[in-house]
Amino acid sequence: MSSTYAGVDSSGPALWPVRYRWVVAIAFAFVPVFFTAAASAASQVLQADDATAALTIAGGAAMSAALGVIVMKVSPANLRQFGFRAPQGGRAVLWFLPLLITIVLVLATQGLKVAGFVLVAYAVLTLCVAVNEEVWFRGIILAVLRGAGVRVAIIGSSVMFAVLHLANLAGGQTIPEAILQVVFAALFGVAAAELTVLTGSLWPAILWHAVWDFANYIGGNTTSSAALVGIGIACAVILAYVLVMWRAANHLPS
């Protein structure tokens, strides 16, 4: 792996030029999947209850996130360039508002179905998973693919993020459920990548990712009619958001 320059434009994400960028990006994409899958397998072997399983997987995600930060620190860029900084520009808050609508829709249509220590465990899990996946996919992988252009990096990192959700088949998910999750993960990934590109920060995507997952966990990931309608409307909001931000991303340097 070699690099000649790393940095960030005034309006773009970190740049980490490497040889064989797609091979490197794909290799990096397997790291967070490996850690969370290993932790999930461990919780199943131990026949852990819901709270213990959530904390076990959170531990795996936390270790993966820590490794990601180490990778960032040994790269030619610094953590600030990778997105560990406040969102840039006064419009950053406006970019985030539509995503809050998606959270409200999920909470309103699914409700609260867990309580007690499980609720706390899910909060820890979703935060660790969000930091882990955003560090790798919207931080490291986006920077590696940036050399192919901002828009290619957005799509490429999102496709990898989506496809690797097929790992959930190993956890007992049915094929139709896995396909739907892959489609949603791709949409989610594009929105998160665009948000990172336009704000220059990982924090908005981390926050949205964590709260979205938490809202679904505490709602029991239910498939009731009301829940499906809420998720459907939320997806429409995210799609509209993606299209609007895509136009804005077109004005960034490639």
Model pLDDT, residue 7:
37
For residue 141, being part of any structural domain is answered with yes
- Mean pLDDT split into 10-residue runs, the chain, 254 residues: 37 81 97 94 92 96 98 94 86 74 84 85 97 98 94 95 79 71 91 91 94 87 74 88 82 60
Total number of domains in the chain: 1
Q: Which two tokens stand for residue 220?
A: 């029991």
Q: Does residue 239 lie in a domain region?
A: yes
Residue 113 in tokens: 């179905």
pLDDT of residue 214: 92
Provide the mean pLDDT of the chain.
86
CB 109 within 8 A of CB 226: yes
The per-residue pLDDT for 153 is 95
Q: What's residue 254's pLDDT?
A: 56
Residue 96 is assigned to a structural domain of this protein: yes
pLDDT of residue 9: 43
What's the domain range around 74? 15-249
Distance of alpha carbon 63 from alpha carbon 76, whole angstroms: 22
Query: Dihedrals φ, ψ of 155, to 5°?
Result: -70, -45
- Residue 158 forms part of a structural domain: yes
**Is position 8 within any domain?**
no
Rounded to whole angstroms, the Cα distance separating 229 from 249 reads: 30
